[in-house]
């Protein structure tokens, strides 16, 4: 038990030194209940054209298939709430995309974490994931005591709200496990449901991904956005924060201190007209390290055109 405590303390201290705001640890196990929910959601077509969500179903629900002999799932939260906001005439961009691509930033920190564990604890096997592999990260965050799943599908931390990236490290290192978060503090509040511009948030903590503005502006690869969505985007050009902005728990959000997430000036200040006049060459240069590059220049122009129709 003393060794387990020592190793657990080391992991939590190291994650804090790497800039993670919260660390929770859960026992690696198959997620049967989550599997049933995911299967139902997929069968109802709520993933739209995101076919990749149908892939590797068995990997999503069983961490030992991702890391043989897995004993622990370490869940990490990193704040991205900005201390600056966009100008009034700028087309809406989700706050997570204000700075450098979080995949790159957090992946590097996970590599450092794994290396540090190996150097200080011993030969340990593990894989780090950040929103890029078949891992049910919110389920693991819940199981490791970091918060509850809100009606908008986001993980909500009681102390700090929901503007967090979630990273997961699955490892064969045995650790002490945190108690799961069992209470739901959303209560009777329906602010996120009422505010969703496209009605994507349904009762029962179900989000119809195929109706979400983030889906249309980022995930949808077709050049035509369905006509029935016209006039419903509330000037969001890339992603959407509406359900988080209205959440009462986000009154506890504090600005992050990660230099890599510092806003790109153009994200904050360019007007819709300036975005429309931008060349593809300029876009690639300005946003080569930004999440906006995921939509590519053509996708951004498509979104802008749709907002003006």
Active site residues: 131
Backbone angles phi, psi at 207, to 5 degrees: -115, 120
Residue 61, judged by CB atoms within 10 A of its CB (0-12, 13-18, 19+), counts as buried
Is-contact 79 259, C-beta < 8 A?
no
Is-contact 128 110, C-beta < 8 A?
yes
Residue 131, judged by CB atoms within 10 A of its CB (0-12, 13-18, 19+), counts as middle
Enclosing H/E stretch for 77? strand 72-79
Residue 168, judged by CB atoms within 10 A of its CB (0-12, 13-18, 19+), counts as buried
d(CA 22, CA 93): 26
CB contact set of 292 (below 8 Å; sequence gap of 6+)? 93, 97, 238, 267, 300
CB contact set of 159 (below 8 Å; sequence gap of 6+)? 252
Q: What are the helix (H) ranges across the chain?
A: 2-17, 32-43, 57-61, 102-120, 137-143, 191-195, 213-214, 242-245, 265-269, 272-277, 280-286, 296-308
């Amino acid at each position: 038990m003393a060794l387990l405590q020592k190793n657990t303390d080391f992991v939590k201290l190291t994650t804090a030194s790497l800039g993670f705001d919260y660390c929770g640890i859960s026992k690696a196990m198959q997620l049967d209940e989550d599997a049933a929910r995911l299967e139902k959601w997929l069968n109802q077509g709520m993933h739209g054209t995101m076919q990749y969500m149908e892939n590797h179903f068995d990997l999503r629900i069983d961490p030992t298939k991702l890391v043989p002999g897995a004993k622990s799932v370490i869940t990490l939260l990193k704040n991205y709430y900005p201390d600056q906001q966009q100008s009034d005439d700028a087309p809406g961009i989700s706050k997570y995309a204000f700075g450098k691509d979080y995949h790159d930033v957090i992946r590097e920190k996970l590599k450092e974490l794994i290396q540090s564990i190996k150097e200080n604890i011993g030969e340990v096997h593990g894989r780090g994931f950040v929103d890029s592999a078949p891992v049910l990260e919110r389920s693991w965050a819940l199981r490791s005591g970091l918060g509850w799943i809100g009606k908008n599908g986001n993980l909500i931390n009681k102390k700090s709200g929901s503007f967090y990236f979630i990273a997961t490290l699955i490892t064969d290192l045995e650790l002490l496990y945190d108690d799961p978060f069992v209470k739901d503090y959303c209560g009777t509040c329906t602010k996120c449901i009422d505010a969703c511009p496209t009605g994507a948030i349904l009762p029962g903590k179900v989000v119809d991904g195929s109706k979400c503005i983030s889906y249309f502006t980022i995930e949808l690869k077709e050049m035509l956005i369905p006509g029935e969505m016209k006039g419903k985007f509330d000037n969001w050009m890339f992603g959407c924060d509406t359900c988080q902005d209205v959440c009462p728990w986000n009154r506890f959000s504090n600005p992050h201190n990660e230099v890599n997430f510092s806003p790109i000036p153009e994200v904050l200040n360019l007007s819709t007209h300036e975005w429309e006049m931008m060349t593809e060459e300029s876009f690639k240069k300005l946003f080569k390290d930004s999440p906006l590059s995921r939509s590519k220049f053509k996708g951004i122009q498509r979104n802008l055109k749709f907002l003006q129709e």
